[in-house]
Amino acid sequence: RVPLYVRAGSIVPFGEDIQYTDEKPADHIRLYVYQGADGEFTLYEDEGVNYNYEKGMYAMIPMEYDDDSRTLTIGERQGSFPGMLKERTFTVVVVNKDRPQAFDIKAKGIDVQYTGKEVSIKI
C-alpha cells in the first residue's frame, strides 16, 4: 500500500482487476468523488481490441461535481460502439478530509443505475 494524494474535486473511476481489455464488461464502476472543490471528468470507452475508435466508434460519459450543492451529475452518454453496455452500475464513494477512503473494490457508497441518460445524485 502506498499513499495516494488526490486533488479536491477529482472524480476517479475504479473497477475490478482485469488482465486484458475485453476480459469482462465494466458493468460496475466505483466513482471516488473527492469533495472540497468543483470537478469534472469524462469517462471514455471503446471496444478496446481494434482501431474502430478512429472511425468514431466510441462513447464518452461526462461527469461534473458541484461542491456547493454536493451534487454529482453523470451526463448523457455521447456516441456508441458495437457491444457497448447499455446499462451499468456506478457506486459513488464520497471522500473528504473527515472521511478518507482507500481504493477498494468492496467500498460502500451510493449505487446509481445508469442507462445512458443524465442523472444527478446528491452526495
Residues 26/43, Cβ–Cβ less than 8 Å: no
pTM score: 0.93
For residue 53, what are the domain limits? 11-16+25-122
Residues 114/88, Cβ–Cβ less than 8 Å: yes
Domain-located, residue 1: no
Domain-located, residue 5: no
Domain CATH for 98 = 2.60.40.1180
Domain-located, residue 6: no
Q: How many domains does the chain have?
A: 1
Domain-located, residue 43: yes
Round to whole Å and give the CA distance between 64 and 38. Answer: 8
Domain-located, residue 2: no
Residue-wise pLDDT for 41-95, tens only, equals 999 999 999 999 999 999 999 999 999 999 999 999 999 999 999 999 999 999 9
Round to whole Å and give the CA distance between 80 and 32. Answer: 25
Residue-wise pLDDT for 8-45, tens only, equals 999 999 999 889 888 988 999 999 999 999 999 999 99
Residue 4: pLDDT band by 50, 70, 90 thresholds?
Answer: confident
